[in-house]
Amino acid sequence: MCLVGEMKRDHTWFERAWEVSNHRCSKAMRMLGRYYFFENKYETSIECYDKALAINKLYPDIWFTKGCAHLHIKDY
């Protein structure tokens, strides 16, 4: 489902993947976080990244983007 969402550029597929996986698919949350980040919805992006990183912490690019989102909302 995540691959379909990437190909179609449709974030609803990431939400479906998250629900179908019983909230265990970190990729779905990573992709949703990226989607919300580029839509300038930084708070929602941070929430998604937090959920993804709670499952798998081994994504340095996600840590960096999450930090950038915190800087955008001036949450130091």
pLDDT in tens, 9-18: 999 999 999 9
The Cα 36–Cα 44 span in angstroms is 6
Residue 4: other Cβ atoms inside 10 A: 12
pLDDT in tens, 24-54: 999 999 999 999 999 999 999 999 999 999 9
Instruction: Tell me which residue of 29, 1, 30 sits closest to 16, measured CA to CA.
Output: 1
The Cα 32–Cα 63 span in angstroms is 14
pLDDT at 76: 85
Which domains does the chain possess?
Answer: 2-72 (1.25.40.10)
Packing angle between helix 12-20 and helix 26-38, nearest 10 degrees? 160
For residue 37, the surrounding DSSP H or E stretch is: helix 26-38
pLDDT above 90 covers a percentage of the chain that reads 99
